[in-house]
Amino acid sequence: MTQTQFAYWVPNVSGGLVVSKVPQKTDWTFEYNKWLAQQAEDAGFDYALSQARFFASYGAEYQLEALTLTAALASVTTRLNLISALHPGLWHPGVIAKAVATIDQISHGRAAVNIVSGWFKGEFTGYGEPWLDHDERYRRSEEFIRVLKGLWTEAEFTFKGDFYRINGAPLKPKPVRKPHPPVFQGGNSHAARAMAARVSDWYFMNGNSVEKVAEQIDEIRTLAETNGRDPDEISFGLNAFVVSRPTEAEAQATLREIIANADRPAVEGFAAAVKQAGQASPEKQGMWADSTFEDLVQYNDGFKTGLIGTPEQIAERIAAYEAVGVDLILCGFLHFSEDLPAFGRDVIPLVRQQPGRRLTRTEALVG
């Protein structure tokens, strides 16, 4: 069992990580994100994920583009692995392969990508790009990933797909990281899970219970074996919204305040959009199929993960997820300025350094 790693959502979109009018000590600007990335390095975080959003929506007014921001952060950090979220259909994989290889050179091997197939139709149609059916978006994403990996690893790469054609293309210099920068991917549909089992290095999951997360991990590992792939080649990340306070009562009070101040029209608009997106899948479900209004106040169901309480309670909860196969916790916070450094000071050492026997999978699922 590997040691749990930690990532944080880069707040490059205004409004923070909750759709709420509650006051937040968080900003979206480059200067703030430069400071925060350096704080995250000092706090012991391993990864930072920059969000991909192009149009203001659901309470967020401003957004810094993810790939550009990642390149800038690469030049002002020394240890943090930097993940850019990218939408196939709005980018060409050959151009992205070159850009990410360049960032990997700048950062000495710290670049990564998160391939998001897209649920926000307005961003595609607004830019005049075709909006594909649900499973076609994942087919395109799979080709996108195959092109990235091919260009990053082969001297000259040729690819003949339904969405992309690459004709004996070179890419120099190659990325520093070998065999290539890590490829992350999310999605909850069968198409998303099957794609992860075939081509992705990391699979991101929305927040959920220990039992539901274990089911997802088991399914993807089984799908990988069915496709002739070693399931140990795939790692698993879990979204979580963290509220760490000296007492459980204080943490729960903060959660209640966030929800009580929810931006109701924005949350309802987001709920309608993702429900429509989920209905487009063959199984008529999406990543937010079981999400309540309260869950959707945090975009990726982070409340469901249950990292709300004292540092000791949060560390115990993380241990349970680790026991069922979670390799990385992707953290969101209310007050990034205060909560991210505090997480590094109060929680990460408990997870990584506290002596004692780790939970077995059975204990995690029962407990």
Question: Is residue 59 within 8 Å of 266, Cβ to Cβ?
Answer: yes
At how many degrees (to 10) do helices 210-226 and 190-199 cross? 60
Question: Is residue 304 within 8 Å of 241, Cβ to Cβ?
Answer: no
* Cβ-based burial of 117 (10 A; exposed 0-12, middle 13-18, buried ≥19): buried
Fold of 5-366: TIM Barrel (3.20.20)
- Selection from 168, 160, 191, 177 nearest residue 285 by Cα: 191
pLDDT for 18 equals 94
pLDDT for 281 equals 57
pLDDT for 251 equals 98
pLDDT for 58 equals 67
pLDDT for 353 equals 82
pLDDT for 278 equals 56
- Selection from 113, 85, 86 nearest residue 101 by Cα: 113
Q: Is the peptide bond before 173 cis (omega within 30 degrees of 0)?
A: yes
Q: List the chain pLDDT tens, one digit each, 367 residues.
A: 568 999 999 999 999 999 999 999 999 999 999 999 999 999 999 999 999 989 877 677 899 999 999 999 999 999 999 999 999 999 999 999 999 999 999 999 999 999 999 888 999 999 999 999 999 999 999 999 999 999 999 999 999 999 999 999 999 999 999 999 999 999 989 999 999 999 999 999 999 999 999 999 999 999 999 999 999 999 999 999 999 999 999 999 999 999 999 999 888 887 887 676 555 556 555 555 678 989 899 988 999 999 999 999 999 999 999 999 999 999 999 999 999 999 999 999 999 986 555 788 888 887 6
Entry pTM: 0.93
Nearest 10 degrees: CA dihedral of 139, 143, 149, 153? 150
Provide the residue type at 257 as one letter: E
Sequence-separated (6 or more) residues with CB below 8 Å from residue 357: none
pLDDT for 3 equals 86
pLDDT for 285 equals 56
